[in-house]
Amino acid sequence: MDRKWAVDCTMRELVDIWNISFEGYAVDVKMTPATMIERVANENLDLTRSVVCFERGKPAGIVMNSFREIDGKNYAWNGGTGIPVAFRGKGVSRYLMGSVDQVYKDNNVDIAVLEAISSNEKAINLYEKNGYVIDNRLKFLKAEKIVKSKLTSPTKYQIEDIPKEKIQSLSFYREEVPWQNQLKSLKGAECKWLVEDGSPVAYAVYRSSYDQLGSLERVVLHQCSIDSKSVEGEEKIRLLLADVFQVEKGDFPRVISNFPVDDGWFIEIFQKMGFEELIEQVYMKKIY
């Protein structure tokens, strides 16, 4: 088995290796050169420390890595482990994970994280054998139409558009969230916070996408937090999210991305608003 860094591949080679390595995957993650470049930039994928392996000149697997400092610790994120169909079940995954483990050790990683689809038992077992444990579960949820709350009292609060970086100063801001929901991964994202008596008490970070005619076609929520989870807190969140998801615009896809299941208070609110689960992932960690 031969190994080289992703940076030593041309962009076309890298995209082709990625696409054949994820054939038959439960979710379509096929990429083009344009989407690969965008993903590398958005998620800080480090091509100098991402691994591609070959068997007799044929692509046999790939692992994309990203590195960040979070709460004073060095984190690494496995942004995708893929193996072409012809090489699955032949020990390539063990080789890849061993190579990546050494990369993390060489770069003084404190904590490694990754996600895997909850139904992908083979992948989860592989990661567990390599020292990862399930730390949380993450849900993707979707609604076309939002159920409006009867609780909201909009005159009590103000909703403001702000630069997303401002939420980092809030006492209830969470820095460690799933990688693709972290602020560094959300270039171009929008942010709103809800103000009560002059102080922000809740926030939401999201992305809106528009069609070629400028009509809103999709809103994806990436982060949402509040200072106090209570009946009144539910009122605040539902008011804030009604604004974020633009309920007055009628039916179109609203998505909640990778929201932690252990935050059941939020999940219950999302369900009351009409959201249903699309897919669930496990969030796994390895401590070095």
Q: Phi first, then psi: give them for residue 248, nearest 5 degrees.
A: -70, -10
User: Domain 2-109 belongs to what architecture?
Assistant: 3-Layer(aba) Sandwich (3.40)
CA distance 37 to 128: 31
Could you tell me if 181 and 207 are in contact, meaning their C-beta atoms sit under 8 angstroms apart?
Answer: no
To the nearest 10°, report the CA torsion of 26, 187, 33, 180.
-20
Q: How far, in Å, CA of 65 to CA of 257, rounded? A: 20
- What's at 188, amino acid-wise? G
pLDDT tens for the chain, 288 residues long, are: 899 999 999 999 999 999 999 998 888 899 999 999 999 999 999 999 999 999 999 999 999 999 999 999 999 999 999 999 999 999 999 999 999 999 999 999 999 999 999 999 999 999 999 999 999 999 999 999 998 877 656 678 999 999 999 999 999 999 999 999 999 999 999 999 999 999 999 999 999 999 998 889 999 999 999 999 988 899 999 999 999 999 988 899 999 999 999 989 999 999 999 999 999 999 999 999
- Are residues 62 and 18 in contact, defined by beta-carbon separation less than 8 angstroms? yes
Q: What is the pLDDT of residue 154?
A: 64
Paired tokens of 239: 């008011």
pLDDT of residue 23: 93
Q: What is the pTM of this model?
A: 0.92
Domain borders along the chain are: 2-109, 141-281
CATH homologous superfamily of 141-281 equals: Gcn5-related N-acetyltransferase (GNAT) (3.40.630.30)
Q: Measuring CA to CA, which residue among 187, 199, 190, 188 is closest to residue 224?
A: 190
